[in-house]
Every structure is written in C-alpha cells, then in structure tokens.
Amino acid sequence: MAVVGAPRRRSALSIAALGLLLAACDAASPDARVGAEPVPPASPVVRAAELDPGPIKTAAEYLAEPELATADAGRGELLAFACAACHKFREEETLIGPYLRGVFGRRAASIEGFPYSPALRQSGLVWTPRSLDAWLADPAGFIQGTTMAFAGYRSAQDRRDLIAYLLRTTQ
C-alpha cells in the first residue's frame, strides 16, 4: 500500500533543495532580488596563506564549540546538495571533486590519484572548520588558481550549518 502524500513530500524537499542549490550558485547580488533584505558587506577575502586553521580536533570537539553547537545540521544537509553535485560524503570515491569522507584534519590535495590544481597542492592547507569556512566563503579568492568551480556561500550561517552537517556525516 502506498503512503498517501509521500511523493508530494519528496517533491517539496527536492524543490527546496534545488532552491538552496540555485541560491548558493547565484552570482547576482542578493540585494538585487525584489523584497530581499539588505545583506551586510562581505568580509574581506581571507587567503589560505594568511589563515591559521586552528587546532585539529575530533568532530565532537568541534561540534561542542559555541558557533557550531548552535548550527542547524538539518539545514546544512539541504545546503550540502550543492556539494553533492561534485563530491561523495561517505564513500571513498571521487566524482568531479574528491570525496569528503575524513576531510577534517586532512591536508588539502592529499587524496592519491585525484587531479588537484597546482594552487591547492601548494597551499599547505589543512581542513578544519575554520579553513573550510574560509574556503566555502570564496574558494577562488581563498586559493587563487583553484579549479573548484563554486561561487561560495555568502552567509556565515549557511557555512556554519553546512560545516556542522559535514562534521556529522564525513567522519
């Protein structure tokens, strides 16, 4: 027996996820949309060479930190649909981008056989919530010369929610 309303629920979730994906990839100014609330000016671009990634901790230790303890990992799961277009979260299988399983505490560009950009290989970056936050804000600005074709998430809350989800999912 089919559950009444199940396909509709899935459709609504798919539409919401697609909307978040399109919003994340939207290069237009958010202030240009009709009825949009003003967005505070963006923080200055942080470059990988200037960033202290902070200490390497366990996922539980990161999630206990105040910024991530209040993050909405459920919302982060929806935001992760943009990542899922190119990355696998749990499997050690690459797509367009490298897999994200075990990403926290891992040196950037360290998965054998994946064709990383020279810029990412030379960055010396270690993935922590702090470095991932800077990367997700503006990948091309954070590591100039990266081949990751993603505009970034403007909202610090979006990035925190996504990082909280990834901490729970990729370990």
> Could you state, in order of their start, the residue ranges of all structural domains in the chain?
50-169
How large is the greatest C-alpha to C-alpha distance in the chain, in angstroms? Answer: 58
Q: Which of 39-43, 45-49, 85-89, 135-139 has the lowest mean pLDDT?
A: 39-43
Burial classification of residue 166, based on how many CB atoms lie within 10 Å of its CB (0-12 exposed, 13-18 middle, 19 or more buried):
buried
Average pLDDT, the chain: 80
Q: Any residues with CB less than 8 A from the CB of 10 and at least 6 apart, and which?
A: none
**What does the alpha-carbon distance between residue 18 and residue 11 come to, in Å, rounded to a whole number?**
10
Q: Give the residue, 26 or 112, on which the prediction is more confident.
A: 112
Instruction: Please identify which residue in the block is written with the tokens 């978040």.
Output: 20
User: Over pLDDT 90: what percentage of the chain?
Assistant: 64
Which CATH class name applies to 50-169?
mainly alpha
